[in-house]
Chains A and B, each alone.
Chain A
Amino acid sequence: MDVLDTLKKDWQKQEDTLPKLTYKEIYSMLLKKSSSIVKWIFIISIAELLLWIFISFLVPDSSKEFNEQMGLKNVFWAITILNYAVFAVFMYLFYKNYKNISVTSNVKELMKNILKTRKTVRWFVYYNIAGTALTLLGANLYFYFNQDKLQRLLADAHYGYNNISPEQATTVFFTAQLIVGVVFIGLLMLFYYLIYGLLLKRLKRNYRELKKIEV
């Protein structure tokens, strides 16, 4: 006889050994809160979306003023408009994907939809990291090629660079920009990698197993 058929026969005898919950016990479970992965993904994703919107508001006025005086006002204005447009598109995609997650779809479909939702947020984060890096790089290149203007501005007591020579001020300025940029982007990537990696490790593994059956 088939090995599994022996097991099947035995499996079906286990009914008596299973726990039996009463009507009341089951009823009380309806009132409890879910701790499902979808809920966590939703919370974390919304937090990430909000974080980036928050960060875009966080740029200090002095830095805005500085950029204006450097003649970058219109460029930054265009970047801001573009940013909000992209934010809106991502929000819409995220919402659409999230709506598609249904516990009554088949196992594969469910996993696919959850991963898709996360992928949208992941692209959003990539967009922001790349956007930040490129803006920083672009602005600094512009500063580099307009050093006269930069030095004149830095000499202004307002920015705290007036105690050192113009050459030193430029060096300090670029070094500071570089360090802040690298640390900021590095931290974001690490933070993101940790959350994403921990939350979806098992799901990704299971999805891979399921796909393996298909080949």
Chain B
Amino acid sequence: MNKELEHKFVTQLEENQNIVHKICRLYTNDADSHNDLFQEVTIQLWKAYPKFRGDSKFSTWMYRVALNTAITLYRKSKRRVQTQDFEGVSFKIKAEEYDDTIEQQLKLMYDAVKDLNDIDKALVFLYLEDKNYREISETLGITEVNARVKMNRIKEKLRKILNP
């Protein structure tokens, strides 16, 4: 029974591991911390797994546990106060649409996102992951209206960084 559960869990996590890696990338600043955080998320997911009923999607459930771990539970050295550098961003822009200004702007934006506080970062992360405001507000525990207002403020902030 336990072996079966372990197998099911590891398979599901293996399939969805990108979600956790993206969170690690946002919230840590080097490979070691990245792995540490991934490890802690895995443990927390596994501990909570017996209570996972399957009435929501595994990935949806994962977002919540992984973000909770990154923002609240995870505790490591001061290293993790800063964030991983998005060096070599942007990711894979195709040659034909390659544009120096876009590249520059993306770099600036990633830097700005990196500098946000833990909560705002979570908000932006869920937005970038294409979550709607209902999901964002449910994950963070704030109202939908407040999530929208805050997101608009962050957008405004980013816009100012791009066009000072």
| Chain A contacts to B: CB under 8 angstroms | 2-4, 6-8, 10-23, 26-27, 29-30, 32-38, 40, 102-111, 114, 199, 202-203, 205-206, 209-210, 213-214
Interface band, chain B: 35 or more
**Could you write out 12 A-B pairs with CB less than 8 Å apart?**
A6-B106, A11-B91, A12-B128, A13-B92, A26-B17, A30-B9, A32-B39, A36-B75, A104-B48, A105-B68, A199-B75, A210-B142
Which residue of B14, B38, B52, B122 is within 8 Å of A107 (Cβ)?
Answer: B122
Task: Please state if B75 and A30 are interface contacts (CB–CB under 8 Å).
Answer: no
* Residues of the A chain whose Cβ atoms lie less than 8 Å from the Cβ of B124: 4
CB distance from A30 to the nearest CB of B (A): 5
Task: Please state if B92 and A108 are interface contacts (CB–CB under 8 Å).
Answer: no
- Is B64 among interface residues, defined by CB-CB distance under 8 A? yes
Chain A to chain B: the 7 pairs with minimum beta-carbon distance, closest first:
A108-B141, A106-B141, A14-B91, A36-B73, A209-B119, A11-B128, A29-B42
Task: Using A4-B127, A13-B91 as known contacts, say yes or no to A36 and B74 having CB atoms under 8 A apart.
Answer: yes
Task: Please state if A206 and B51 are interface contacts (CB–CB under 8 Å).
Answer: no
Instruction: Give the distance in Å from the alpha carbon of A66 to the alpha carbon of B115 in the complex.
Output: 62
The dominant DSSP class at the A interface is: helix
Task: Please state if B89 and A10 are interface contacts (CB–CB under 8 Å).
Answer: yes
CB distance from A7 to the nearest CB of B (A): 5
Task: Please state if B73 and A103 are interface contacts (CB–CB under 8 Å).
Answer: yes
| Chain B contacts to A: CB under 8 angstroms | 6, 9-11, 13-14, 17-18, 21-22, 25, 34, 38-40, 42-44, 46-48, 51-52, 61, 64-65, 67-69, 71-76, 89-93, 102, 105-106, 109-110, 113, 117-120, 122, 124, 127-130, 138-143, 146-147, 149-150, 154-155, 158-159, 162
CB distance from B61 to the nearest CB of A (A): 7
Which residue of B17, B18, B158 is within 8 Å of A3 (Cβ)?
Answer: B158
Instruction: Give the distance in Å from the alpha carbon of A13 to the alpha carbon of B73 in the complex.
Output: 29
Task: Using A6-B106, A8-B128, A103-B47 as known contacts, say yes or no to A209 and B120 having CB atoms under 8 A apart.
Answer: yes
Task: Please state if A34 and B43 are interface contacts (CB–CB under 8 Å).
Answer: yes
Which residue of chain B has the shortest Cβ distance to A22 in the bound complex? B14
* Residues of the B chain whose Cβ atoms lie less than 8 Å from the Cβ of A105: 68, 141
Instruction: Give the distance in Å from the alpha carbon of A34 to the alpha carbon of B46 in the complex.
Output: 11
Which residue of B64, B118, B127, B147 is within 8 Å of A104 (Cβ)?
Answer: B64
CB distance from A87 to the nearest CB of B (A): 28
